[in-house]
């Protein structure tokens, strides 16, 4: 029984390398596509950093209880995924060990049309200790920083006042992006906002 020649039994190592490179590239493309879909369809997207794995796992459990998903993402894959989406402003925030937290469950939270409660639930684990840190968030395509998240967590003012405060804190270039999300609420709130400005002059 012939065992075959040596070249027949030993495969080309370069072909294995090429296959591994192709599979690695395909996997990254799939992950980037997944992130892009999340950016398109999720109402809230939040980035968080962590110092210890145990702290991250605790935060992940808290997010899961609030019907949110958390995934670890690589910086390069995240940059490709967020490109050309309404949350592309999160790209500069992708540094270090980054967790992507996302949810579209705001409709299940009574009275949370504008998403403040959803954001507060997502940010809560990141404000409870120093091992998991809030980086930035995109709420309906609008950039949220740490100050905004803390303001929403307090929940002391009405939703309209929260949104007025948010509009005042945002750069002008961000307001048109926000106006595409909640047209009816924003038009009403902007009228209130403008009337108050007129009354203060």
Question: How do residues 32-91 score in pLDDT, each as one tens digit?
Answer: 889 999 998 898 999 999 888 899 999 999 999 888 999 999 899 999 999 999 899 899
Query: Each residue of 149-163: pLDDT tens digit?
Result: 777 666 545 555 555
Q: Give the separation between CA 130 and CA 88, rounded to whole angstroms.
A: 27
Residue found under tokens 């007025």: 164
**pTM higher than the cut 0.75:** no
Rounded to 5 degrees, φ, ψ at 110 are -55, 135
Set out the domains of the chain in order of their start, with CATH numbers.
Answer: 31-155 (3.30.70.1730)
Taking 70 as the threshold, does the pLDDT of residue 2 lie above it? Answer: no
Q: Please report, rounded to a whole number, the percentage of residues in the chain having pLDDT higher than 90.
A: 21
Q: Which two tokens stand for residue 55?
A: 């702290």
């Amino acid at each position: 029984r012939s065992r075959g020649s040596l070249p027949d039994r030993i495969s080309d190592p370069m072909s294995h390398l090429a296959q591994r490179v192709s599979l690695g590239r395909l996997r990254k493309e799939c992950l980037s596509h997944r992130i892009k879909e999340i950016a398109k369809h999720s109402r809230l997207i939040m980035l968080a950093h962590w110092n210890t794995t145990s702290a991250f796992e605790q935060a992940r459990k808290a997010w899961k209880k609030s019907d949110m998903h958390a995934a670890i993402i690589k910086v390069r894959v995240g940059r490709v995924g967020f490109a050309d989406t309404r949350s592309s402003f999160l790209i500069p925030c992708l540094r270090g060990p980054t967790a992507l937290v996302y949810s579209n469950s705001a409709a299940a939270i009574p009275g949370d049309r504008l998403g403040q409660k959803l954001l507060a639930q997502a940010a809560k684990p990141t404000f409870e200790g120093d091992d998991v840190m809030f980086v930035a968030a995109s709420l309906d395509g609008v950039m949220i920083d740490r100050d905004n998240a803390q303001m929403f967590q307090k929940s002391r003012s009405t939703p309209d006042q929260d949104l007025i405060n948010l509009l005042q804190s945002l750069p002008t270039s961000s307001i048109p992006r926000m106006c595409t999300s909640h047209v009816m609420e924003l038009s009403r709130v902007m009228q209130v906002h403008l009337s108050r400005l007129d009354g203060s002059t």
